[in-house]
């Protein structure tokens, strides 16, 4: 069964390509602006509660998890993603202009770069 195109709850898909984005991150999509705002708030919030050098790592990740209302494992993965972004200034700068990286993508960045030596980051 198809939905009539004049149905306001199910509008027809756009006729023009809107870019190589994944929904809901497409800035031209109906949620693009809101997702970007959410990602900006998350980025700023996590930076306020990140562990600092010298913190007991177990306590730090538990505190981060409590502050973000996520599991300890997820908090650790988010920490690694955000920490790796500091080693990728071009990506971090682009993210701070567009806010397209959500917490899932930050986790992937951290996980993919976990084995890369710090002296190699200038090549990325």
**Cβ-contact 5, 14 below 8 angstroms:** no
pTM of the model: 0.70
Say what the pLDDT of residue 66 is.
Answer: 93
Note the pLDDT tens digit of each residue in 1-50: 455 555 556 665 555 444 555 555 666 777 888 888 999 999 999 998 88
Say what the pLDDT of residue 74 is.
Answer: 94
Q: Using alpha carbons only, what angle is made at residue 115 by residues 50 and 88, rounded to the nearest 5 degrees?
A: 55
Kindly list the domain boundaries of the chain, sorted by start residue. Answer: 32-113
Q: Of 15-19, 51-55, 66-70, 100-104, which range is least confident?
A: 15-19
Say what the pLDDT of residue 20 is.
Answer: 52
Which pLDDT band, with edges at 50, 70 and 90, does 70 fall under? very high
């Amino acid at each position: 069964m198809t939905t009539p195109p004049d149905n306001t709850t199910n509008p027809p898909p756009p006729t023009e390509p809107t870019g190589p984005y994944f929904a809901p991150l497409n800035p031209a999509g109906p949620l693009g602006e809101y997702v970007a705002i959410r990602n900006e708030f998350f980025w700023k919030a996590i930076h306020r509660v990140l562990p600092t050098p010298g913190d007991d790592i177990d306590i730090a990740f538990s505190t981060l998890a409590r502050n973000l209302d996520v599991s300890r494992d997820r908090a650790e993965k988010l920490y690694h993603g955000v920490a790796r972004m500091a080693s990728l200034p071009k990506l971090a700068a682009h993210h701070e202009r567009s806010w397209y990286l959500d917490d899932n993508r930050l986790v992937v960045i951290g996980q993919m770069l976990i084995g890369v030596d710090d002296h190699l980051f200038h090549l990325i």
